[in-house]
Amino acid sequence: MKQICFRKQTAIAVMFSVLCSTTCIGQLTLPPAEIEKALDEAYNKFKDLKEGKNADYIKELASVDPNIFGVVLVTTDGKVYTKGDITSMVSIQSVSKVFTMAKVIEEQGAKAVEDKIGVDATGMRFNSIVAVELQKGKEINPLVNPGAIAASSLINGADSAAKMKSIMQVHSDFAGRPLSLNWPVYVSEAGDNLRNQAIAHLLLAYGRMYFDPVQSTDIYTKQCAINVNAKDLAIMAATLANGGVNPVTKKKIVTPETVMHTLSVMATAGLYDNSGIWLYNSGLPAKSGVGGGLLAVCPGKFGIAVVSPPLDAAGNSVKAQKVIGYVVDKLHVNPYLVQPK
Ligand code: GLN
């Protein structure tokens, strides 16, 4: 009798724990077939879309193949799902701002970033000078050019080479492989970045630049020219989704707290002046770059990235926004979507 009771209890305990773990797994893990279906549909639905135009204010970007189109989703348990062109390299551009921001938070703390740069959305274009002028260099954030150049100036390192080395390293760690610079893109932008230099000098005038402004702009320009493909960006996004541990290499890159602060600014400012519309529709923190890359983070679940160079008027990849929006809808992963109990 005792034995039966014990068995019954054990069976109930096992059933309970299985039930519990499937519920938990149900929340955390998406069925692979569903992911594949969503990516497939999104890819086919938007592959022939011809809206948007390559950035051309950086001359080298005008000649990038506008037909490059790759979609990659990487889960927090390291599974990689791909569609289309995942090997063509594009310059990371503003997506880099996320990883330099995370590095500065690691080195100096979240408070220093809040105080020395700012964490408020400007609601203006990514390279707005007015945004700096209006608030005397305050109330900007590391995901628009002024805040990003300030972040480059804050990265630890005795000189500009040391700072750049550290930025390269953190990007490579997030991607899980050694990344390198696209020199033609760097040279093209470096020869023509007077506006960013003006922004850096204006910040200096307001006491909000923490290293030589010309060198800081140069570091920033180099970081924007780091070459990536859709898979790199998706692994970088998945590392953020996974609390700062790269789910493919298993290396710990930054702390969960650093990720938490970084994602918040991505939510409010990751797509510049269109961040509100983006968040309204997808609910996911994201970051775009004028090279055509866009990544989004579904915390605890996955990172997703798309590379497609043609941009809308705000400077965000047209196809990437549509594909990620579609996948988020299909997988029901907008974190604000909650079914009542
Ligand atoms: N390097 C570009 C610039 O500074 C990055 C802009 C972007 O991707 N939005 O203008």
- Homologous superfamily of the 2-331 domain (CATH): DD-peptidase/beta-lactamase superfamily (3.40.710.10)
DSSP calls for 93-153: GGGHHHHHHHHHHHHH-HHHHHHHT------S-TT-SHHHHHTTT-S--TTSHHHHHHHHH
**Cβ 113 vs Cβ 104: under 8 Å:** yes
- Residues 82, 32: Cα–Cα separation, whole Å: 12
Which CA distances in Å does 74 have to 198, 241, 266?
38, 9, 19
**Ligand 1 pocket: which of 221, 273, 290 to mutate (most atoms within 8 A of CB):** 290
Q: How confident is the model at residue 58 (pLDDT cuts 50, 70, 90)?
A: very high
Predicted local distance difference test score (pLDDT) of residue 267: 98
Is 214 known to sit in a ligand binding site? no
Q: Dump pLDDT digits (tens) for 62-83.
A: 999 999 999 999 999 999 999 9
**Residue 145 Cβ < 6 Å to ligand 1:** yes
How buried is 285 (Cβ within 10 angstroms: 0-12 exposed, 13-18 middle, 19+ buried)?
Answer: buried
Whether the predicted pLDDT of 2 surpasses 60 = no
The crossing angle, in degrees rounded to 10, of helices 275-282 and 256-269 is: 110
Distance 317 CA to ligand 1 centre (A): 13
Residues 173-194: what's their mean pLDDT? Answer: 97
The residue ranges of every structural domain in the chain are 2-331
Q: Is 316 in the pocket of ligand 1 (CB under 6 A)?
A: no
Confidence class for position 9, pLDDT limits 50, 70, 90: very low
140, 122 Cβ separation under 8 angstroms: yes
- What are the structure tokens assigned to 17, written together? 């724990």
The band of 230, judged by pLDDT with boundaries at 50, 70 and 90, is very high
Task: State the closest ligand 1 atom to the C-alpha of 95, by its place in the atom list counted from 1.
Answer: 8
Can you give the pLDDT at residue 29? 76
Residue 91 Cβ < 6 Å to ligand 1: no
pTM for this entry: 0.91
Of 128, 159, 165, the closest CA to residue 143 belongs to 128
The Cα–Cα gap between 233 and 91 comes to 11
Residue 26 has pLDDT above 70, yes or no: no
Residue 18 has pLDDT above 50, yes or no: no
Question: Was 145 annotated as part of a binding site?
Answer: yes
Instruction: Indicate which residue's Cα is closest to atom 6 of ligand 1.
Output: 94
